[in-house]
Chain A
Amino acid sequence: MSNWTFRETAGMGELLLDVEGARQNVLSHAVLEELDQLLQQIRTERLRGLVLRSGKSQGFIVGADVREFGRIRDAAQAVELTRAGQAVLRRFAALPYPTVALIDGPCLGGGLELALACSYRVVCDSERTTLGLPEVKLGIHPGFGGTVRLPRLIGGLPALSLILSGRSVSPRAAKRLGLADMVVPSRHALAAAHKLLRDVPPKGRPAWYQTFLDIPVLRPAVGAYVRRTLKRRVNCAHYRAPCQALSLWVADGNEAAEAQSCAELLVSPTSRRLVRLFELSEDLKRAARAQSHDIRHIHVVGAGVMGADIAAWAALKGLRVSMQDRQPDILARALSRAARLFGQHLKGPAVAAAWDRLLPDPSGRAVRQADLVIEAIIEEESAKRALFRDIETRARKDALFATNTSSIPLDRLAEGLTNPGRLMGLHFFNPVAKMQLVEVIAGSQTDAQALARGRSLMVALERLPIDVRSAPGFLINRALMPYLLEAVALADEGVPLAVIDAAAVDFGMPMGPIALADTVGLDICLSVARTLSGPLHWEVPPLLEHKVAAGELGKKAGRGFYVYPEPRDWLASFASPPEIPAGLAERLILRLVNESVRCLREQIVSDADMVDLGLVYGTGFAPFRGGPLGYAESLGPAEIKNRLNALRERHGERFTPDSGWDDAALMHRRSFAADTQGAGP
Chain B
Amino acid sequence: MGARVFIVDGARTPFLKARNGPGPFSAAELALIAGRALMGGQPIRASDLDEVILGCVIPAADEANIARIVGLRLGTGVAVPAFTVQRNCASGLQALASAFDHIQAGRAQLVLAGGTEAMSRAPIQWNRAMSGWLAQMLRAKTPLDRARTLIQLRPAHLRPVFSLLLGLSDPVVGLSMGQTAEIVAARFGIDRHAQDAYALQSHQRVVQARERGEFDGEVEIAFERGGRYHAEDDGVRLDSDLDKLARLAPAFERPFGSVTSGNSSQITDGAALLLLASEEAVARRGLPVIGEILDYDWAGVEPAQMGLGPVHATARLLGRHNLHTGDLAHVELNEAFAAQVLACQAAFASPEYAREELGLDGPPGAIDPARLNPDGGAIAVGHPVGATGARLVLHLAKALRRRGGGLGLATLCIGGGQGGAMLVRSVESAREGA
Binding site for B on A (CB under 8 A): 320, 322, 328-329, 331-333, 335-336, 339, 352-353, 355-357, 359-363, 365-366, 368-369
- Known A356-B36, A356-B74, A365-B40: A332·B231 in contact at CB below 8 Å: no
Other A-B contacts than A331-B221, A332-B228, 16 sampled, CB-CB below 8 A, are A320-B75, A322-B40, A328-B221, A331-B223, A332-B223, A336-B225, A352-B73, A353-B73, A356-B36, A356-B74, A356-B75, A360-B223, A361-B40, A366-B40, A369-B43, A369-B45
A338 to chain B minimum Cβ distance, whole angstroms, is 8
Is B37 an interface position by the 8 A CB rule? yes
CB-CB under 8 A from B41, the residues of chain A are: 363, 365-366, 368
Most buried by A among B36, B43, B223, B226: B223
Cβ distance A237 to chain B, nearest Cβ, rounded Å = 44
Question: What residues make up the interface of B, taking CB atoms closer than 8 Å to A?
Answer: 32, 36-37, 40-43, 45, 73-75, 221, 223-229, 231
- Nearest A-chain residue to B222, judged by Cβ: A360
- Name the A residues within 8 Å of B32 (CB-CB): 356
Cα(A360)–Cα(B43), bound, Å: 17
A332 near B40 (CB under 8 angstroms)? no
User: Complex: how many Å from CA A359 to CA B220?
Assistant: 12
**Which residues from A are CB-within-8-Å of B227?**
332-333, 335-336
- Of residues A322, A353, A369, which shows the largest number of chain B Cβ atoms within 10 Å of its Cβ? A369
| Beta-carbon nearest neighbor of B44 in chain A | A369
Would you call B229 and A331 a contact (CB within 8 A)?
yes
Picked from B40, B43, B221, B226, the residue with its CB within 8 Å of the CB of A336 is B226
A-B interface, 6 closest residue pairs, ranked by CB to CB distance from nearest: A336-B227, A365-B41, A339-B225, A366-B40, A332-B229, A356-B73
Residues of B within 8 A of A357 (CB): 75
Most buried by A among B32, B36, B225, B226: B225
Which residue of chain A has its CB nearest to the CB of B41?
A365
Query: Please, which residue of chain B has its CB at the minimum distance from the CB of A297?
Result: B45
Q: Which of A332, A352, A359, A369 contacts B37 (CB 8 A)?
A: A359
Chain B residues near A369 (CB-CB < 8 A):
40, 42-43, 45
Q: Can you sample 20 A-B contacts with CB below 8 Å?
A: A328-B223, A329-B229, A331-B221, A332-B228, A333-B227, A335-B223, A335-B225, A336-B225, A336-B227, A339-B226, A356-B32, A356-B74, A359-B40, A360-B223, A362-B221, A363-B41, A366-B40, A368-B43, A369-B42, A369-B43
Q: CA A368 – CA B288 in complex, angstroms?
A: 14
Q: How far is the CA of A360 from the CA of B41 in the complex (A)?
A: 12
- Give B291 Cβ to nearest chain A Cβ, in Å: 19
Closest B residue to A299 by beta carbon equals B40
Interface residue SS majority, chain B = loop
With a cutoff of 8 Å between Cβ atoms, the chain B residues found around residue A365 in the complex are 40-41
Determine the chain B residues whose CB is within 8 A of the CB of A335 once the complex forms: 223, 225, 227
Q: Contacts of A366 on B, CB cut-off 8 Å?
A: 40-41
Do the beta carbons of B225 and A355 come within 8 Å of each other? yes
Please give, as numbers and ranges, the residues of chain A lying within 8 Å of B224 by CB-CB distance.
332, 336
Chain A residues with CB under 8 Å of B37's CB are 359, 361
Chain B residues near A356 (CB-CB < 8 A): 32, 36, 73-75
Please, how many angstroms separate the alpha-carbon atoms of A552 and B45 in the complex? 47
Contact residues in B for A361 (Cβ distance below 8 Å): 37, 40
CA distance A320 to B73 in the complex (A): 12
Please name all residues of chain B whose beta carbon is closer than 8 Å to the beta carbon of A333 when the two chains form the complex: 227
CA distance A322 to B37 in the complex (A): 10
B229 and A359 contacting across the interface, CB-CB below 8 Å: no
| A360 CA to B227 CA, complexed, in Å | 12
Of chain B, the residue at the smallest CB distance from A357 is B75
B227 nearest CB neighbor, chain A only: A336
Report how far A341 CA is from B374 CA in the complex, Å.
45
Contacts of B74 in A (CB 8 A): 356
Q: Which residues of B contact A359 (CB under 8 A)?
A: 36-37, 40
Q: Which residues of A are found within 8 Å of B226, using beta-carbon distances?
A: 336, 339
A358 to B190, CA, bound (A): 50
A366 to B45 alpha-carbon distance, docked (Å): 11
B66 shortest CB reach to chain A, Å = 14
Closest beta carbon of chain B to A155's beta carbon, Å: 36
A355 and B229 alpha carbons, distance in the complex (Å): 15
Closest to B46 in A: A320
Give every chain B residue within 8 A of A329 (Cβ-Cβ): 229
Residues in B neighbouring A322, C-beta threshold 8 A: 40
- Please report the C-alpha to C-alpha distance between residue A362 and residue B227 in the assembled complex, in whole angstroms: 15
Closest to A331 in B: B223
Chain A CB count within 10 A is highest, among B75, B229, B231, for B229
Q: Which residue of A lies closest to B229 (CB)?
A: A332
Please, how many angstroms separate the alpha-carbon atoms of A368 and B229 in the complex? 25
A94 to B32, CA, bound (A): 58
Q: Which residues of B contact A368 (CB under 8 A)?
A: 41, 43
Q: Which residues of the partner chain A approach B229 to less than 8 Å between Cβ atoms?
A: 328-329, 331-332
